[in-house]
Amino acid sequence: VQLQASGGGLVQTGDSLRLSCAASGRTSETGTMGWFRQAPGKEREFVAGFRGSVETAVYADSVQGRFTMSRDNSKNTVNLQMNGLKPGDTAVYYCAARSWFPLSDTAMTRPNNYDSWGQGTLVTVSS
């Protein structure tokens, strides 16, 4: 699966952004889709994820209630609506996919469990 993330930019505190991730290739083999982010000098961290056909996404505590992950199966796209952005949300955001078997809620938070990654899109939130 090939992934292409887009939608990043420079915004102010409290603003919103919508990230998109377009998948191509063997998308029918995708078991889990996830969003991660990596701030300068920090490890890559889980943001949100969909497991299999489950419609309810799993979120990191830091974004719960502010971010919403959705998907459009007809377009092979997953989106991340980010509201109430804070300077601490500044990072490069990556979408990722795991082939075949859906990951558990715990396993989907670990970057090493994904086998396809997009190129990342930069989100900068100014104070």
pLDDT of residue 88: 97
Q: Output the average pLDDT for the chain.
A: 93
Do residues 69 and 17 lie in contact, with contact meaning Cβ atoms separated by under 8 Å?
Answer: no
Give the 3-state secondary structure of the chain. CEEEEECCEEEECCCCEEEEEEEECCHHHEEEEEEEEECCCCCCEEEEEEECCCCCCEECCCCCCCEEEEEEHHHCEEEEEECCCCHHHCEEEEEEEEECCCCCCCHHHCHHHCCEECCCEEEEEEC
Longest dimension (CA), the chain: 41
In order along its 127 residues, the chain shows pLDDT tens digits of 899 999 999 999 999 999 999 998 877 777 899 999 999 999 999 999 988 777 789 999 999 999 999 988 888 899 999 999 999 999 999 999 998 888 999 999 999 999 999 999 999 999 9
Asked whether the beta carbons of 6 and 20 are under 8 A apart, the reply is yes
Q: What pLDDT is attached to residue 100? A: 83
